[in-house]
Amino acid sequence: MASASAILAGLYLAVGAGTVVGWMTAMRVKMTAMPQMVSLFNGMGGACAAIISIVEYHSHPDGDAMYLLVVFLGLIIGSISFSGSMVAFGKLDEKIKDFSAKWLTIFNLLLLGVIICVLVVAVSSPAIFGPSVLWILLLLSLLYGVLFVMPIGGADMPVVISLLNSLTGMAAAFGGFLYHNQVMLTGGILVGSAGTILTVLMCKAMNRSLLNVIIGSFGGGGTAAGAATGDQVVKEINLTDAAILCAYASKVCIVPGYGLAVAQAQHICHDLEKQLENKGVEVYYAIHPVAGRMPGHMNVLLAEADVPYPKLVEMEDANGMMNSTDVVIVVGANDVVNPSAKDDPGSPIYGMPVIEVWDAKNIIVMKRSMRSGYAGIENPLFFHSKTKMLFGDAKETLQKLVGEVKMT
């Protein structure tokens, strides 16, 4: 009885400690670091599922084939999710650089084949490997998780995060199956299925297959063939002219990107929207499905600033509205407005649907510098005849622009 009470006390202590640490972490994290936090927490979920499989294997080493299959699948998927999420965390935090090579893709496929072969043998003939199979699968899966995410390019990271999230849900569902826990099983299935659906939808939005995302290393740091050349000129615009252009427009579109999140400028952006509407200007936001670093990143940012949801227009609808838009303000976005995706077959992002801002009458691009985006490629939009650059920190520049609009 005392032993049971000690175990229960330990469980409560662990739950309490985890709750405090999780709450403190979530409260302190900046919105710009939200993708990293999502990857970290997702990795912890995968690690928990893998640990459950290890514990259950040692508790029931003589389980039947179906039981062993569930244990090993939970271990494999959970380990891949853990190590892959840790690499994704490092890449999102810019501590790990992309590494892509043709041999790595072949090696990953071979490694995955080895994992499957070991799994089949371990389930059909447990005596061949014995208890050591657990550690063999663990090490192979951890290695595969690292190598699987390592070559994925920046433009694909939101898809990868969604995929890893679905893997964690699947691993949790296997844990629920082992414990006959309906809540854990149902929760894992919901997370896994929702993550899978979201992954498929995002791939569709990018006009690519999931296999192409995983193997293709989309946006891994190449240079678009139609990028900047020495004779191209950047045209700048000052705050006063930008304010006049926006204030006397009939329709203005704002395209948010990761730079908006970095500057924490979503509230000021909303202020600009309200000031323009006070002058009779119609304002809407064009939302790209993979803008930012995680699925729905821009939606979360703008919702935090109390931007009305009807003003958030999805990419396909926004593209249909560009011809009637007088001014497009691109705030910190880069790859999602790159025309190379439409007209340059040599570009790493060719074929990816983008927001076609060049169809509008005027384009104002707000950036700190001419630095390339997360996909690591140049953007010819900066040199477009309709484009004018407004350099500076997004938050500070938007604050000044709001002040100029008020006085216009």
Tell me, what DSSP letter sits at residue 174? H
Residues 6+ apart with CB under 8 A from 275: 402, 405, 406
Instruction: Let me know if 11 is exposed, middle or buried by CB neighbors in 10 A (0-12, 13-18, 19+).
Output: exposed
Cα dihedral sign, 371-220-149-169: positive
Strand pairing category for 362-367 and 327-331:
parallel
* Angstrom distances, CA of residue 329 to CA of 159, 231, 332, 390, 395: 26, 25, 10, 10, 14
Q: 312 φ, ψ to 5°?
A: -85, 110
One-character DSSP codes across 363-386:
EEEEESSS---TT----GGGG-TT
Contact 118, 137 (CB under 8 A): yes
Residue 4: Cβ within 10 Å count = 8
**How far out from the chain centre does Cα 267 lie?**
22
Q: Are 145 and 81 in contact (CB under 8 A)?
A: yes
Q: Give the integer Cα–Cα distance in Å for 185 and 174.
A: 7
At 88, list the tokens: 């994704």
**How many other β-carbons are positioned within 10 Å of the β-carbon of residue 119?**
20
First and final CA of the chain: distance in angstroms?
77
Catalytic residue among 271, 335, 359, 393: 335
Q: Is 344 a catalytic residue?
A: no
Active site residues: 335
